[in-house]
Amino acid sequence: DWTMGAYREEAIRLIREQVGDKKVICGLSGGVDSSVAAVLIHEAIGDQLTCVFVDHGLLRKNEAEEVVAMFRDNYNIPLIHADESDLFLGELDGQSDPETKRKIIGKLFIDVFQKHADSIDGAEFLAQGTLYPDVIESVSFSGGPSVTIKSHHNVGGLPEKMGLKLVEPLRELFKDEVRELGRELGLPDSFIGRHPFPGPGLAIRCPGEITREKLAILREADAVYIDQIRKHGLYDEIWQAFVAILPVRTVGVMGDGRTYDFACALRAVTSVDGMTADYFPFSHEFLGETATRIINEVKGINRVTYDVTSKPPGTIEWE
């Protein structure tokens, strides 16, 4: 693609111009955005880039292993795998307010990056895979009170005191353009096609208090749901699909016994850029089969619901 090829060349030129001979650290989330940003920046400045993959304990099943393997196997990018799950889950313990959870996560991300930046001699820049929709959704509405829709952890949360300058080569792009750029850069198709995953991870798919027990249940349910979607050949038709574990237990009956377990909600939406979305029209057969599989295969869930809210008025995530 001529346009993306030109964008790539220009982006590389701008990164070199901005960074000079200094070092850059890049936070990898495992998502397409930060991965494309990392590969682009690596192409521009090579070993001046170090990636930091923060495992906040809020990732999906096998996600950390897959991301680390993909970067180590396919690219020669220095990668620090920071397991900070105790830190994050400890600070989140007992917190149930959505914005408070996001702020805690955002602050800890910065602390962790700061720590690793300090360990890299000469690091002066922090790279992020911020997209255009992230930029505009975080801007206050003009004319009214200062209201932000959500505090995206990866935008504007960089305190001056951190002393790092931002490199955001995807700031002008929409998601589909980032995928095109990723293809242009040779990232594997399986990776480029991945659904978006938010920085705060499973925290915002676990309304109410986050516990290790709920996270473990959520991971299993999500894995079954995504497996169902793949088996039915629907993955690429969907912008994003995930399970949210609800902060409520419900009564059920299984075999001869009464159960009292968590309810969950399945979410799947179509979208072009994440700014607006429609719920995905699964067949009743698909929904019924998926509910049965989740309840049979996931200990701790006895009720499955399907979220049929579009955006607006809903958001894609639950928090």
Residue (149 or 254) nearer to ligand XMP, CB:
149
Distance CA 156, CA 146 (A): 15
Question: Nearer Cβ to ligand XMP, position 88 or 302?
Answer: 88
Torsion angles phi and psi, residue 195, rounded to 5: -65, 150
Verify binding: residue 316, ligand XMP, rule CB under 6 A.
yes
**Per-residue string for binding with ligand XMP, 237-276, x by CB under 6 A?**
---x---------------------------------x--
Size of residue set near ligand XMP by CB under 6 A: 14
Of 56, 101, 150, 179, the one binding ligand XMP (CB under 6 A) is 150
Instruction: State yes or no: 310 annotated in a binding site.
Output: no
Report phi then psi at 70, rounded to 5.
-65, -40
The residue within the footprint of ligand XMP, chosen from 153, 179, 219, 267 (CB under 6 A), is 153
- 311 touching ligand XMP, by CB under 6 A: yes
Q: Which of 50, 154, 228, 302 binds ligand XMP (CB under 6 A)?
A: 154
Taking residues 99 to 138 in sequence order and writing x for each that binds ligand XMP by CB under 6 A, - otherwise, the string is ----------------------------------------
| Residue 317 binds ligand XMP (CB under 6 A) | yes
Question: Which distant-in-sequence residues (6+ apart) come within 8 Å of 74 by Cβ?
Answer: 187, 188
CB atoms within 10 A of CB 291: 19
33 is in an annotated binding site: yes
- The answer on whether 31 is annotated among ligand-binding residues is yes
CB of 105 to ligand XMP, least distance (A): 8
Q: Exactly one of 173, 198, 219, 286 binds ligand XMP (CB under 6 A); which one?
A: 198
Site of tokens 């850059």: 24
- Binding of ligand XMP at residue 196 (CB under 6 A)? yes
State the binding site for ATP. Answer: 29-35
Binding residues for ligand XMP (CB under 6 A)? 150, 152-154, 196, 198-200, 240, 274, 311, 315-317
